[in-house]
Amino acid sequence: MNETPPIRPDIAAARLSPAELDRNFADIHPALSPHDAAVEADRCYFCYDAPCMDACPTGIDIPLFIREIQAGNPLGAARTIFSQNILGGMCARVCPTEELCEGACVRQAAEERPVRIGLLQRHATDTMMATGRQPFARAAPTGRHVAVVGAGPAGLSCAHRLAMLGHSVTLYDTRSKPGGLNEFGIASYKAVDDFAQREVDYLLSVGGISLQTGTALGRDISLEALSATHDAVFLGIGLAGVNALGVDGEGAPDCRDAVDWIATLRQAGDLGALPIGRRVVVIGGGMTAVDAAVQARALGAEEVTLAYRRGRDAMNASLYEQELAARRGVRILCHVQPRRVLSHGGVVQGIELERTREEGGRLIGTGATLTLEADQIFKAIGQTLLAAPQDGAGLPALEAGRIRVDAELRTSMPGIWAGGDCITGGLDLTVAAVEDGKRAAMSIHAALLRERP
């Protein structure tokens, strides 16, 4: 294929009409009406030892908030939710509820449709946010000042809880706006109408939190300086690095990181202006890979293939996300791994894949290959804490490539906590990051109280 004359990539903007784009990027789960929410709440058994609650990483009292909806009190339900998860609105939209709370629903065990807990949670939190009222009063100022680095789910959760407890917080983020992956890293159809920023604005309205964007750890601020000027520091810096394929040809311009491409899409004012190939290949098997593949189809790509090195049962993307991709016209090709990106004169023309098999849990290449024609290739094979080795300078001790923490999320450096995707053992879920931020805030609060003269 490399010996043939170069073929210009078939990449173009405005493949679809504005109406088609609006339809393709519409809210994937439209909100419940008050009536539908009441009917759905009636389906709950209000289990005493509710397995749905045990399955929620943030420990929301699910039977209680559903009963409050049933009683016509969505604001009370929202308070119940927000008391454990201040980002409950986003989590209602992006959590893999089919594997967590709804997957544990006893109706599911009885081979019935589970209670739609995610949509009920969204109903309650959206109702509260629409009022503009904070359900919590900020405690009297303690005189203590905490630095929170990273304005993603973990950092936002930590900052809010600390502010509630009366501490002053400065929230730093390297990007131009807060939100982290909620703003830059998830599919647009999961959080429409600028919801991520509206949720951040709502969270910040508790008071006591100052936001400083465009400020990068290691470039503009250092842990040493933050520790010297603050009473405590929380790191919620996420995963800045992206794994490379490690094959020939991946440096071609149209072989891109899926994370960066999704961020570009999320910030685009006009989806019709985004160029997309007619033939797209996405490498990976996680949520980012699925989001990239589905959105490529939504922009008008005619052929989208998601290529994964193992079987579908090993994909990090949930079964629901896999089925969503298939319903949206994405072809899922398993047991293949990249061998080389095919290009001519820097123009991507396809990708050569090697078929794989598993022996005793080990993945091995079979030597058999196949070639897919492609105008664009998106890489989504995982992220790393560090974009470059020198980025680790000055960080707390690492383990398995992430920040090591103890049971209270304290790092190896005194006065510094961490949580979210950046820590060893992190679940790479928004809801888990929120719980980390909340737990770290309570640990920081206890430590600051112990230090009080």
pLDDT, tens digit (0-9, with 9 covering 90-100), for 256-266: 999 999 999 99
Q: At residue 128, does pLDDT exceed 80? A: yes
Confidence label for 57 from pLDDT (cuts 50, 70 and 90): very high
Question: Phi and psi dihedrals of 300, rounded to 5?
Answer: 120, 5
Residue-wise pLDDT tens digits, 180-222: 999 999 999 999 999 999 999 999 999 999 999 999 998 899 9
Confidence label for 240 from pLDDT (cuts 50, 70 and 90): confident
DSSP classification of residue 355:
E
Domain 145-240+385-451: top CATH class: alpha beta
Confidence label for 391 from pLDDT (cuts 50, 70 and 90): low
Alpha helices, DSSP H, located in 387-429: none
Alpha helices, DSSP H, located in 42-150: 51-54, 62-70, 74-84, 88-94, 106-109, 117-131
Q: What is the pLDDT of residue 387?
A: 63
Q: Which tops the pLDDT comparison, 345 or 287?
A: 287
Average pLDDT in the chain: 93
CATH of domain 34-131: 1.10.1060.10
The superfamily in CATH containing domain 242-382 is FAD/NAD(P)-binding domain (3.50.50.60)
CA 36 to CA 41: how far, in whole Å?
8
Q: At residue 178, does pLDDT exceed 90? A: yes
DSSP classification of residue 134:
-
CA 349 to CA 342: how far, in whole Å?
6
Nearest to 66 by CA among 94, 91, 102, 93: 102
User: What value does the mean pLDDT take over residues 320-326?
Assistant: 95
Q: What is the pLDDT of residue 389?
A: 60
Tokens of 1: 């294929």
CA 15 to CA 24: how far, in whole Å?
13
Q: What is the pLDDT of residue 241?
A: 86
Nearest to 297 by CA among 394, 194, 188, 396: 188
| Coil, strand or helix at 441 | helix
DSSP classification of residue 74:
H
User: What value does the mean pLDDT take over residues 31-53?
Assistant: 95
Confidence label for 1 from pLDDT (cuts 50, 70 and 90): very low
Give me the residues paired with residue 269 across strands. none
Q: What is the pLDDT of residue 428?
A: 82
CATH 1.10.1060.10-classified regions of the chain: 34-131
Q: Are 349 and 359 in contact (CB under 8 A)?
A: no
Q: What angle do CA 318, 40, 182 make, to 5 degrees?
A: 40
User: What value does the mean pLDDT take over residues 345-371?
Assistant: 93
Q: At residue 91, does pLDDT exceed 70? A: yes
Q: What is the pLDDT of residue 425?
A: 86
Q: Are 148 and 440 in contact (CB under 8 A)?
A: no
Whole-model pTM: value is 0.94
Question: Phi and psi dihedrals of 408, rounded to 5?
Answer: -100, 15
| Coil, strand or helix at 377 | strand
Question: Phi and psi dihedrals of 306, rounded to 5?
Answer: -100, 115
Confidence label for 453 from pLDDT (cuts 50, 70 and 90): low
| CA Rg value for the chain | 23
CATH 3.50.50.60-classified regions of the chain: 145-240+385-451, 242-382
CA 41 to CA 426: how far, in whole Å?
32
